[in-house]
Amino acid sequence: MNRVHSLLCSGLICLVTLVGNNGCASVRQALGQQLVSVETEVELGQKMALQIEAENTVMRDAQLQRYVRHLMQPLIDQAWGDRPGIDYRITVLDDPTQVNAFALPGGPMYVYTGLLALAEDEAELAGVLAHELGHVVARHSANRLGTQFGVQLLMGVTLGEAPEELAQMVADAAGAGAMARFSRDDERQADGYGVKYTIAAGYDPAGLMSLFEKIGRLGGGKGDSLERFMASHPATDERITRIQKQISREPSAGVRNGPRYQEMTAGLH
Ligand code: ZN
């Protein structure tokens, strides 16, 4: 069980912070919402996206980019119901060594080809992307950055006045930084949205679990970024149990679309 659990927060960058501050999460969240306007959140996300795309290789395969956008659209349609007016968009980054996906404030989301290659069907990828959508819907990044840096500094970053802080935010968002990103409460909330969107969009919610198992099997590998995540951010039994409970409460006959997924991602193997 430990292996299965440990992958939950590990490779997916949605790391659980086990520093004992979860009781403060709701207060922190409320404070962040007061501090950071939607305008600042969106501008900050755009600034970070420019940096992410300058530091990474955006996948040149236009057909693959379209396919992942197409796969994600039904999930985005669901997210609009909870948080309208946001330009949710997914971009594939070409790095087979990164088994990861992440979201920036205000809508931009990224998935690495390493994760696309690991997933074996649309339901597995949809489960992860829906979780990332949940972080955007709940404004987790904006709230955390607002309380960590203060709104004045965030506004400075949007104006290009704080390059070092921008670099730190980008590194943290992409999983390369020193900060664990989200609290356990944030992860719980993103899981809730994610499973809901996955089911409502017509994907098999069990895909998330089978992807977690694959990531868990990878965890014993060499000293790569994935293993570092797993060592420093063990997942909780509670999280996986809760996801399974939510899935069992909302039985569905969603699709997995394995053959189509494998055809579209064949070039990554
Ligand atoms: Zn997460």
Going from the Cα of 254 to the center of ligand 1, the distance in angstroms, rounded, reads 22
The pTM of the full predicted model, rounded to 2 decimals, is 0.84
Centre of ligand 1 to C-alpha 240, Å, is 13
State in Å: Cα 152 to ligand 1 middle: 26
Classify residue 22 by its DSSP letter: G
CB 198 within 8 A of CB 78: no
Max Cα distance, the chain (Å): 50
pLDDT value at residue 65: 98
Whether the pLDDT of residue 160 is over 90: the answer is yes
| Dist. CA 153 → ligand 1 center (Å) | 24
Ligand 1 centre from 132 Cα, in Å? 6
Q: How far apart are CA 237 and CA 257, in angstroms?
A: 29
Select the more confidently predicted residue: 24 or 191: 191
Q: Which of 1-5, 73-77, 157-161, 242-246 has the lowest mean pLDDT?
A: 1-5
Q: Please count the other Cβ atoms lying within 10 Å of the Cβ belonging to residue 80.
A: 14
Per-residue pLDDT at 7 exceeds 60: no
Distance of CA 71 from the midpoint of ligand 1 (Å)? 19
Angle, in degrees to the nearest 10, between helices 151-158 and 38-55: 50
Distance 158 CA to ligand 1 centre (A): 24
Q: What is the mean pLDDT of residues 26-42?
A: 74
How many angstroms does the Cα of residue 54 sit away from the middle of ligand 1?
A: 24
Cα 194 to Cα 54, 63, 64, 125, 232, distances in angstroms: 29, 25, 23, 11, 24
Ligand 1 centre distance from Cα of residue 96 (Å): 21
Q: Residue 131 C-alpha to ligand 1 middle, in angstroms?
A: 6
> How far is Cα 71 from Cα 214, in angstroms, rounded to an integer?
21
Is the predicted pLDDT of residue 214 greater than 50, yes or no? yes
Distance from the alpha carbon of residue 200 to the mean position of ligand 1, in angstroms: 19
Q: Where are the domains of the chain?
A: 39-139+181-268
Ligand 1 centre and the CA of 238: distance in Å?
15
Structure-model confidence comparison of residues 84 and 226, the more confident one: 84
State both tokens at 237.
Answer: 């039994």
Q: Are 233 and 11 in contact (CB under 8 A)?
A: no
Average pLDDT score over residue span 69-76 = 98
